[in-house]
Structure 1
Amino acid sequence: MTNSTDASFATRPKPSMLAVGSMILVIIAILTLAWQWLNTRHRFNEIEKSLSIKLEAYQALNQQSLALAKQAEERSTQANARTVILEQKLAESRDQQEALQTLYTQLAENREATAVAEVEQLLNIAKQQLQLASNVKSALLALEAADHRLEPLDLPRAVQLRQTLQLEIETLRDLPQIDMIALSAQLSYLTDLCSSIPLISERQPTLNSKAGKIPASAQSLHGAQQFWWAIWDDIKNLVTVERIDKPEPPLLSPEHALYLRENVKLRLLTARIALLQHDENTYKADLGMVKMWLNQYFDTKHPDTIKALVLLNKLSSNNISLELPQLSDSLAAVNSYKLMLEKNE
């Protein structure tokens, strides 16, 4: 048996070197292919892992993007809603603005008409002060108040009216200033003073200033002698002789004296009225008549008479004549302004 087997092996042909080399090459190629397949598989796995990681990251980013997009959409919806609300409010604001503009226009027109009415009233007050009381200061204050009332009206016609008022104001300011209150007070004081001045017939004789005084020559006398000397001095002063440089006026009865004093008061009263009317002729004529009566019928040596005469000379020297404006230009301008406003209505 053994021999037959060995014989069969012996009879087989031995493989050649080419076959062996080919086999080796095939094995190497298979091994190379296997290694490459494994390497490629490994790379594919790595790429697959990387792709899965990136895909997860992309999905996370996509979810964030979707969330942001949703938030943006919600905000856009809110913004659209707010825009609609703002448009509604804007439309309401425009309506309100138009209504306010209409109201402002009406108020402006009413304010202009009210201002013109007030200016007219102030001009009438100024005219009354000039015509009735000749009070330049009060009239000037009224005109300045009228000009100040027109100042907020920035309109050409208001500016023109203010220019007319400025001319009237300058005219009043150029007038000479007469202190009517002080002059009237002085006349009132003079009236009170003249009511107490004594007449010449009522004048008391002037006593000797040395009466009752013991001269130096009699001071050496004894007490009884000084007593008799004083009695003698009084007896000498019982009768006083004075020199009269002008004719003695006729004696006035108490009734005529009362009439004289009342005429003096009446003349001073008419002088005050003439002062208020700036009637210089009547004013000076009344004061001159009072001065003449004081010199003729009253005691000119009395201190009150001297004071009254000095005050009369001072009052007579004042110039009270004034040509007061009539404010006709300003009143005409205001009337034209009112007619223009009535036509616009």
Structure 2
Amino acid sequence: MNDTPDLPPASPAPAAAPAPAAPAASPLPPKAKSHPGVWANPWLLVALAAVGLAGWQWLETRGKLTGTQQEVAKRLADSDTLVREARTLARQSQDATAQLTAKVGALEAKLAESQSQQAALENLYQELARNRDEQFLAEIDQNLSAASQQLQLAGNIQAAITALQAAEARLARAEQPRLVPLRKAIARDLDKLKSLPYADVPGMSLRLENAVAAVDNLPLAFETRPRNDEPSKTAPGRDAKAGAEEPGLLARLGSDIWNEVKGLVRIQRFDRPEPALLAPDQSLYLRENLKLRLLNARLALLSRDQWTFRNELKVSQDWLTRFFDGRDRNVATAQNTLKQLASAEISIDLPQINDSLAALKALKQGPQKDRK
């Protein structure tokens, strides 16, 4: 009981506590003063802005990264789909290739079988149709026929000699006594052909072709200008004299008039008749006609027509001498070429290989008589 009345007086002790609260109210004004100082610091504002910008960039980068990841995932899925489709197509193409290979192999086997059967039938037919000797004589006959055709139709001596030499080589490899008469006949015909003069028809034809190609570049006679034969050493002498003594006005006037008169008249000597003056179209026709003459000479060469060949070359030489500049090197070369070609002999009396053909015919009739 005595303790309870003592409690109320103790309560004023806390009432005295507001006395220290008065000093606590005194720091409030300093807080109000420090608040504007914190926001007024520029570095804090810059730091806050940098933090905000970094946060915004991080969010934006994260968003872009997320979108990129989604796009990559989508493309990977598409590529996987394409790869599966490509694998499916490759597998299908492989299967089709395997099928085609099998079909081709079957066709090749059938073709090989048919070819072997055909070869067997051909061999059987050849064996039934003729024996080995007849085949050998048929080859010799073919060579002799080719040589005869080359002589009669083309006049090609070298081709005929080559065909006879091939027949002689076949007979020499056979080494049969009954073929000796045929070999002697072929040897006689070869001697006849080798003794004939040789005409290089391909070489002559090539030279004519080159002459035809050079016609367009040959200068015409009327296009050449006369040469100035006056010496050019008089001018320095005149200059020296002019430096020594000055001529008078009348002397210089007379000299100029005399030089003009000399320039109007020119005397020139020609060792041949005056060249014909041709218009441009006539010059073109002249060149084309000359080409036609040379081409006719070439045709006559191939057909062994001696008269036409020489006549065309003679006319061409006359035209070159009359209408073209003989002092030009190309014209002189063309004239020499035509002159050499005109002196060649292209018409040759060709012999026949009747002895070889008669000996082969007798050799073929021999086995037939024996069989009868």
Task: Quickly name the TM-score band, shorter chain normalised.
Answer: 0.5 to 0.7
Match of 1:155 among 162, 176, 181: 176
Residue in structure 1 matched with residue 156 of structure 2 by the alignment: 135
Q: Are 1:273 and 2:294 counterparts?
A: no
> Is the 8 Å Cα contact of residues 201 and 302 (structure 2) preserved in structure 1?
yes
Residue in structure 2 matched with residue 293 of structure 1 by the alignment: 319
CA distance in 1, matches of 2:194, 2:239: 72
Give, as a single letter, the amino acid of the residue that structure 2 aligns with 1:217: G
CA distance in 1, matches of 2:239, 2:337: 46
Q: Structure 1, unaligned stretches of length 5 or more?
A: 1-105, 226-231
> Is the 8 Å Cα contact of residues 207 and 237 (structure 1) preserved in structure 2?
no
> Is the 8 Å Cα contact of residues 224 and 325 (structure 2) preserved in structure 1?
no
The alpha carbon displacement at 1:181 in A equals 2.5
CA distance in 2, matches of 1:344, 1:258: 73
The answer to which structure has the higher helix fraction is 2
Q: Are the structure 2 counterparts of residues 263 and 174 from structure 1 closer, same or farther at C-alpha, using a change threshold of 3 Å? A: same
Match of 2:224 among 199, 204, 211: 204
Q: Are 1:113 and 2:134 counterparts?
A: yes
Q: Are the structure 2 counterparts of residues 243 and 258 from structure 1 closer, same or farther at C-alpha, using a change threshold of 3 Å? A: same
> Is the 8 Å Cα contact of residues 267 and 287 (structure 1) preserved in structure 2?
yes
CA distance in 2, matches of 1:149, 1:136: 20
> Is the 8 Å Cα contact of residues 275 and 320 (structure 1) preserved in structure 2?
yes
Q: What is the correspondence of 1:93-104 to structure 2 with a 5 Å cutoff?
A: none
Residue in structure 1 matched with residue 200 of structure 2 by the alignment: 179
Q: Greater Rg, structure 1 or structure 2?
A: 1
The alpha carbon displacement at 1:114 in A equals 2.1
Q: Structure 2, unaligned stretches of length 5 or more?
A: 1-126, 247-257
The alpha carbon displacement at 1:239 in A equals 7.5
SS in 1 for 2:309: helix
Q: What is the correspondence of 1:121-270 to structure 2 with a 5 Å cutoff?
A: 121-201=142-222, 203-208=223-228, 215-218=235-238, 220=240, 241-270=267-296
The alpha carbon displacement at 1:343 in A equals 5.1
Q: Are the structure 2 counterparts of residues 200 and 153 from structure 1 closer, same or farther at C-alpha, using a change threshold of 3 Å? A: same
RMSD across aligned positions (CA): 3.4
The alpha carbon displacement at 1:211 in A equals 7.9
Q: What is the correspondence of 1:312-331 to structure 2 with a 5 Å cutoff?
A: 312-331=338-357
CA distance in 2, matches of 1:122, 1:285: 37
Give, as a single letter, the amino acid of the residue that structure 2 aligns with 1:304: N
Q: Are the structure 2 counterparts of residues 240 and 342 from structure 1 closer, same or farther at C-alpha, using a change threshold of 3 Å? A: farther
Q: Are the structure 2 counterparts of residues 163 and 208 from structure 1 closer, same or farther at C-alpha, using a change threshold of 3 Å? A: same
Residue in structure 2 matched with residue 308 of structure 1 by the alignment: 334
Residue in structure 2 matched with residue 45 of structure 1 by the alignment: none
The count of residues paired between Structure 1 and Structure 2 equals 231
SS in 2 for 1:251: coil
CA distance in 1, matches of 2:202, 2:259: 53
Q: What is the correspondence of 1:52-67 to structure 2 with a 5 Å cutoff?
A: none
Residue in structure 1 matched with residue 67 of structure 2 by the alignment: none
> Is the 8 Å Cα contact of residues 199 and 346 (structure 2) preserved in structure 1?
yes
SS in 1 for 2:174: coil
TM-score when normalising by structure 1: 0.57
